[in-house]
């Protein structure tokens, strides 16, 4: 049959298979034998190669060739294994971090809850103290009324007068209302506000680094001097609430608490003028009313009198409440007349809350002779005065500064204070409190001037022409500050040298200066 033959039955064309080739893997008995022989040969060849590699030296070409082929395969496998291990560790680490984050979040919630409870307890304690204070004041009032009835209307009950060291009896006018001498939460009977505003002897105040929260330095200064101050001065910013404990601690020692209350952050650095949050318009417009009311209410709840020096040295140019920079450019958006509006606004808030029954307000500019020309004038000082209705004492800050700050004049009381005192007396008949004073050791000539300046201070207080000065508060600290573009460290401490301390002790113990102080305890 030909290669292409048509089948008569099925009508299909039959194709004759091609002849089978001779490859050993082809089907067929003979080819199966070839396949078996080829496989055997390959196995033997591989075995032979393995044997040759095994017996060959480590540096032989055969082993090197085989190693070059096998090593990348082994390295790749090792890297794959390491990658798998690292992935496993990463997944485990993520799981651990997730668990720790959850635990941290839970602990944070617990801490927040604990802080919330602590704050609530603190408020409850504060309320309880306020209630106790009011109750004690009512008891004292009832006792005074009963004593008055028993005595035929005569008032009794002695109370210490802060400025005198003596006692005065009974019911007096405090602020705008008639009250008895208040008894504070510590059980200390304090003088009335009226007696604080009209002292029968002079005030001697101290600023130290920690008083009235810690009196260690305060007491040491007193012991060195030999006389106990009757005023405890300290500073506070408007980001801090009223500290009843500070007022109570001062009165527990028999000292009038004297707060310099600054409308700025308590963390502000020296000469930090740029603080627009505390601008005068913001205060006038009521942005701080909630804070002011809270502060005033806390004063009322504490029930003890105090003095507040609000935003001192307003006629200078280094505080955010200054109206301008001395050359006509406003600061923080403040305008002329804003300082008076601010003061009156704060006073009115206190009045509405009843706090003015406990506060003696001290208006205290800076000494004028070292200011810019436009700020030295009487008209400028007058433009900053809120009015007698809103002020109980006028005062000033006055320092004898070293020659490095530009001071080249004589080192006397008159040089430091006289020009400003003249303007204050022209402005009002209010009593004068030298509310922040001090002297550097080294004067313009390079020699020690503090002892002589201190003697000059007490000589001036003995002069009847200065009888309207009701006292001073000494800034007894060492301070590094900026002055006229220079960084200067001044040692204002009373006891900076033995000569200065001796001059001060002699001055405060004079009998012609109207000081009636308690003897200080030895330390």
Instruction: Report DSSP letters for 154-200, one per residue.
Output: ----EEE-TTTSSEEES-EEETTEEEPPPB-TTS-B---HHHHHS-S
- Tell which CATH architecture fits domain 201-519: Alpha-Beta Barrel (3.20)
Region class of 378: left (phi > 0), else alpha (psi between -120 and 50), else beta:
alpha
List, for residues 62-88, the tens digit of each pLDDT value: 556 656 655 665 676 777 787 778 777
**Those residues with Cβ within 8 angstroms of residue 230's Cβ, 6 or more apart along the chain or in another chain:** 162, 163, 165, 203, 204, 205, 254, 255, 256, 517, 518
Cβ atoms 517, 505 nearer than 8 A: no
**Closest by Cα among 397, 163, 383 to 260:** 397
Check whether 426 has a pLDDT greater than 90: yes
- In the Cβ-directed half-sphere of 192, how many Cα atoms lie within 13 Å? 21
Please spell the DSSP secondary structure of 134-147, one letter per residue.
HHHHHHHHHHHHHH
List, for residues 345-384, the tens digit of each pLDDT value: 999 999 999 999 999 999 999 999 989 999 999 999 999 9
Provide the whole-model pTM: 0.68
Q: Cα–Cα distance between 127 and 461 in angstroms, integer?
A: 44
What CA dihedral angle connects 219, 392, 399 and 280, to 10 degrees? 110
| CB neighbours of residue 296 within 10 Å | 22
State the pLDDT at residue 114. Answer: 67
List, for residues 273-328, the tens digit of each pLDDT value: 999 999 999 999 999 999 999 999 999 999 999 999 999 999 999 999 999 999 99
Q: Cα–Cα distance between 14 and 279 in angstroms, integer?
A: 112
**Closest by Cα among 186, 187, 188, 194 to 170:** 194
- What is the maximum alpha-carbon separation in the chain? 162
Which of the residues are catalytic? 313, 436
**Closest by Cα among 212, 259, 203 to 231:** 203
What CA dihedral angle connects 354, 360, 362 and 363, to 10 degrees? 40
**Least confident among 209-218, 221-230, 497-506:** 209-218
Q: Which residue has the tokens 């798998």?
A: 84
List, for residues 381-397, the tens digit of each pLDDT value: 999 999 999 999 999 99
């Amino acid at each position: 049959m030909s290669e292409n033959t048509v089948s008569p039955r099925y009508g299909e064309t039959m194709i004759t298979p091609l002849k089978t080739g001779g490859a050993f893997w082809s089907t067929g008995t003979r080819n199966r034998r070839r396949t078996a022989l080829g496989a055997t040969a390959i196995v033997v060849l591989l075995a032979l190669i393995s044997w040759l590699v095994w017996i060959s030296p480590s540096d032989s070409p055969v082993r090197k060739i085989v190693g070059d082929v096998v090593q990348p395969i082994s390295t790749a496998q090792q890297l794959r294994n390491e990658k798998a291990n690292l992935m496993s560790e990463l997944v485990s680490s993520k799981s651990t971090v997730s668990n720790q984050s959850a635990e941290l979040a839970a602990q944070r919630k617990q801490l927040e809850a604990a802080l919330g409870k602590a704050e609530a307890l603190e408020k409850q304690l504060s309320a309880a103290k306020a209630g106790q204070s009011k109750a004690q004041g009512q008891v004292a009032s009832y006792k005074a009324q009963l004593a008055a009835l028993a005595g035929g209307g005569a008032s009794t009950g002695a109370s210490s007068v802060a400025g005198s060291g003596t006692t005065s009896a009974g019911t007096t006018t405090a602020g705008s209302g008639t009250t008895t001498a208040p008894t504070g939460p510590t059980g200390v009977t304090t003088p009335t506000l009226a007696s604080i505003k009209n002292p029968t002897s002079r005030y001697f105040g101290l600023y130290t680094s920690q008083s009235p929260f810690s009196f260690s330095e305060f007491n040491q200064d007193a012991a060195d001097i030999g006389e106990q101050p009757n005023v405890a001065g300290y500073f506070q910013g408007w980001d801090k609430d009223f500290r009843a404990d500070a007022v109570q601690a001062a009165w527990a020692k028999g000292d009038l608490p004297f707060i310099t209350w600054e409308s700025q952050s308590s963390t502000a650095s020296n000469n930090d003028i740029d603080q627009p949050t505390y601008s005068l318009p913001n205060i006038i417009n009521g942005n701080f009313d909630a804070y002011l009311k809270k502060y005033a209410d806390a004063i009322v709840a504490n029930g003890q009198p105090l003095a507040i020096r609000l935003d001192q040295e307003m006629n200078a140019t280094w505080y955010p409440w200054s109206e301008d920079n001395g050359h006509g450019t406003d600061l923080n958006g403040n305008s002329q007349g804003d300082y008076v509006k601010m003061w009156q606004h704060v006073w009115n808030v206190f009045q509405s809350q009843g706090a003015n029954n406990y506060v003696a307000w001290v208006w205290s500019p800076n000494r004028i002779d070292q200011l810019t020309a436009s700020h030295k004038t009487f008209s400028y000082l007058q433009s900053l005065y809120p009015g007698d209705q809103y002020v109980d004492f006028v005062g000033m800050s006055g320092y004898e500064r070293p020659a490095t700050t530009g001071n080249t004049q004589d080192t006397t009381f008159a040089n430091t204070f006289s020009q400003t005192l003249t303007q204050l007396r022209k402005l009002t008949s209010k009593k004068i409190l030298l509310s922040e004073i001090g002297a550097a050791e080294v004067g313009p000539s390079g020699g020690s001037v503090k002892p002589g300046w201190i003697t000059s201070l007490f000589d001036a207080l003995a002069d009847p022409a200065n009888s309207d000065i009701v006292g001073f508060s000494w800034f007894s600290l060492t301070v590094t500050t900026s002055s006229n573009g220079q960084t200067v460290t001044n040692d204002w401490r009373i006891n900076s040298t033995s000569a200065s301390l001796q001059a001060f002790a002699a001055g405060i113990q004079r009998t012609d200066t109207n000081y009636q102080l308690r003897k200080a305890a030895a330390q």
